[in-house]
Every structure is written in structure tokens, then in C-alpha cells.
Structure 1
Amino acid sequence: MIEKILPPEVVAVERRDDPPEATLFPAEEALIAAAVDKRRREFRTVRHCARLAMAELGLGPAPLLPGERGAPVWPEAVVGSMTHCAGYRAAAVARASAVVSIGIDAEPHDTLPDGVLTAIALPAERDRHAALTRVVPDLHWDRILFSAKESVYKTWFPLTGRWLGFEEADITIEPDGGVFRARLLVPGPVVDGVELAGFTGRWLVDDGMVITAIVLPRSE
């Protein structure tokens, strides 16, 4: 599914199960030795996906250890992003020579728990959510917004090394075409000499899942 919203320079691998052939490097295994089974399966499978995607780029396997704030530390020649939720795991990778940053997120296509929309959405975003719900009531726009915010953060953090709060990006979701736009409300990262004012991403609802992705290509 996720490949539908990614450009050709990005390779993605996704799974709806936890294959027995998924294994970890010793350093990775040590990190989850005391974790519950659910966490171990998610951690193992999403890294299995990442290494399969890296192999499609012609790159050898490598440990993918969590760094600051849990963000995965990728090999020097690679940029990527990973996501997992109940019944879904995915990784998207690209060569660092072609792409600056990637952020992907997957969520079940269901209404957010009570109180979450108020906690994560700006007043203007809540107004747009209400309007979208009136126009297309069959989609859970609150969950799409939440997923888009997660993808924004995953794109932002490798570029800045700084936290980005939910209230620091204003997201507009286009109901047609599967596009969303994030306007940063704090100074943006400088990429190729230009300060970014925001990101443009894509969203998809398919097979019970919400998937969002942002890919920031490197300037020619």
C-alpha cells in the first residue's frame, strides 16, 4: 500500500504479519531483551522490513539502533523512516544522495480516543476537521491528521535534532488527491541553504489503515 504515496527513489517494504525469518543483530536484541512479546515482534519485523528495503538499494544489512528520542540511526548513505501499529509494519528508505529526509506513519483507520484531537490539533485544524467530516463523513479525518503530524515530526527531527510539538505545525488536508500541507509555526530547518517553511506530504486510506508520508528530495 505505502508505495502508492512514495516517489520512485524511495523503496518501501511493509508487512501485515511478523515473519519467523525476521532476526535482529545482537546489539538490537539486547535493547528489547526485557520487552513484552508485542514490542519484540514490532521491533524485529520493522527492522526486517528496513533491511529488505536497504537490500533493494544494493546496501548490506546493518543494525538500526534507536538514537536520540528513539529515532533510528541509519547507515551514513541512507535516510529512512519506520512505522508500526497493530497489524502493520513498514519501512521506507532512500539513498542520502537523492533524499534529505523521510517521514512515514501508519495508524488504524478509526476514530481517535476521546480527548486526543483536542490535545493535538490547533483551533484552525479542528475547524477544518469539522468541515471535512461534513463533506466526507466516512473517513476518520482526526486519525489522518494525527498520522500526518507524526510524519511531519519524523521528517523534522533528523534535520534539526529538536522536538516539534503538535501545536508547532498547522496541517491542511486536501480531501481530493491525497495531499496534506504542513506549515511550520517555528523556524524551519535549513536544507541546501534554504530555510523550510513547511512540508508537503501524501495520505492514503486503504485496507483499514491510514498511511501518511513525507519525502524531502535533495535539490539538484
Structure 2
Amino acid sequence: MIEQILPPAVAVAEAFTDPAGLTLFPEEEALVARSVEKRRREFTTVRHCARLALGELGLDPVPIVSGARGAPVWPGGVVGSMTHCDGYRAAVLGRTTAFATLGVDAEPHAPLPEGVLDAIALPAERTRTTALSAARPTVCWDRLLFSAKEAVYKAWFPLTGRWLDFSEADIVIDPAGTFEARLLVPGPVLGGTPVTAFAGRFLVERGLLATAISIPAARP
């Protein structure tokens, strides 16, 4: 599913159920030793997806542990992103020779709980979301905005090592299937050029919505 909104060079693995018999590396097991069963299942399946994607890149399976702020730690020469929600898990990976960063998110295609939009959206974003909902009520634009902000953060953090608040990126959604996140704080510098915005894509399918950002590697 999510490969539809990513470049062909990105390795993608996804699952809509939790297959039986999956195992974790000891380093990963330690991270969920005290977790509830639901958390263990999604953690295990999404790392299974990550290892399948590593295989697509011709790399051996390795433990995927969590680093700063819970971000996955990838092997050298690889960038990637993982996501999971009810009924869906996915991992996307790319070579650093091709991509500077990747960020993906998936969510149930349902409205946000009451009060969440006000907590995560800028006033202009709320205004645009209301207009989109009036024009195309079959899409949960509030949830899509939330997902886009999650994808932005996942793409941002590996480049900066810094937190990015919901209020620090202004996201404009094009109902044709794209979005732009205009950074309201100084962004990373790639190839000597400051990054001021992230471009992304989205889709709504199978009762889910997904967002994805892929930033090409800077060229010499």
C-alpha cells in the first residue's frame, strides 16, 4: 500500500496482521520485556518488516533498537522509518546514497478524538482543514493533518537530532494527494542549502490513511 506514495528506490515491507512465530533479537526483546501484549505484537511485526526491507537492499538482518527519542537505529548507510497502527505495520528503507531521510506514518481513517485537532494544529491549518472537510467530507482531513505532522517529525529528527513541535511546521494539504510542510524554525542544511520545507504524499485506502516524505540525498 504505502509503496504507492514512495519512490521506487525505497525498500518497503508492510503487514496487515501479526504473523505467528516471529522472534526478536535479545537487544530488541529487552526493550519490550515489560510491555503489554498489543505493544509486543506491533513492535515485533514492524521489526520483521524492517528486516524484510533490509533484505530488499541486500543487507543481513540486524537488531533494530531505539535511540534518542525512540527513533530507530539503522545500520550504516541506511535511512528509514517505521509506522504501526491498528491493522497495519510498515517499514521503509533506503540507501544514504539515494536518500537523506525518510518519514512515514499510518493511521486509522477515522476522525481525531475531540480536542486533538486544537492541540496539534495551527489556526491556519484548522481553517484549511474545515474547508477541506466541507468540500470533501469522505476524507478525515483532521487525521490526515495529524499523520502528516508525524511523518514530518520522523523525516526531521534524523537530520537534526532535535525535537520539532506540532506548531513548528505549517502543513498545506492538496486534496490531489500531496502536502507541503513549511518549517517555521531553522531547518537542516543539505548540500550547503538550508531546508525550509518538506514535500510529502498521502493516500487513503483499506480503512487507513498513510503519509510519506522522502528527501533525496544531497548531490556533490
Q: TM-score range by the shorter chain?
A: over 0.9
Amino acid at match of 2:197: G
Amino acid at match of 1:205: V
Match of 2:89 in 1: 89
Match of 1:63 in 2: 63
Shift of 1:22: 2.2
Match of 2:192 in 1: 193
Task: Give the TM-score of the pair, scaled to structure 2.
Answer: 0.98
Match of 1:171 in 2: 171
Match of 1:217 in 2: 216
Answering whether residue 102 of structure 2 is matched by residue 140 of structure 1, we say no
Question: Per-residue CA shift, 1:119-173, capped at 9, x if unaligned?
Answer: 0000000010011011101100000000000000000000000000000000000
What percentage of aligned pairs have identical amino acids?
63
Structure 1 stretches of 5 or more lacking a match?
Answer: none
1:157 match: secondary structure: helix
Shift of 1:21: 3.7
1:32 match: secondary structure: coil
Q: Distance in 2 between matches of 1:55 and 1:193?
A: 33
Question: Per-residue CA shift, 1:20-59, capped at 9, x if unaligned?
Answer: 2422111101111111000100110000000001101101
Answering whether residue 185 of structure 2 is matched by residue 181 of structure 1, we say no
1:49 match: secondary structure: helix
Shift of 1:97: 1.1
Match of 1:17 in 2: 17
How many residue pairs match? The answer is 219
Alpha carbon RMSD of aligned pairs, Å? Answer: 0.7
Q: Distance in 1 between matches of 2:79 and 2:186?
A: 23
Q: Distance in 2 between matches of 1:207 and 1:133?
A: 20
Q: Could you list the runs of 4 or more consecutive aligned residues of structure 1 that deviate by over 6 angstroms after TM superposition?
A: none
Matches within 5 A, 1:64-79: 64-79=64-79
Q: Distance in 1 between matches of 2:96 and 2:175?
A: 31
1:31 match: secondary structure: coil
Shift of 1:219: 2.9
Amino acid at match of 1:11: A
Match of 2:107 in 1: 107
Q: Distance in 1 between matches of 2:183 and 2:21?
A: 41
Q: Distance in 2 between matches of 1:111 and 1:148?
A: 14
Q: Distance in 2 between matches of 1:173 and 1:39?
A: 31
Amino acid at match of 2:129: H
Q: Distance in 2 between matches of 1:100 and 1:129?
A: 30
Shift of 1:96: 1.1
Amino acid at match of 2:122: L
Q: Distance in 2 between matches of 1:22 and 1:103?
A: 25
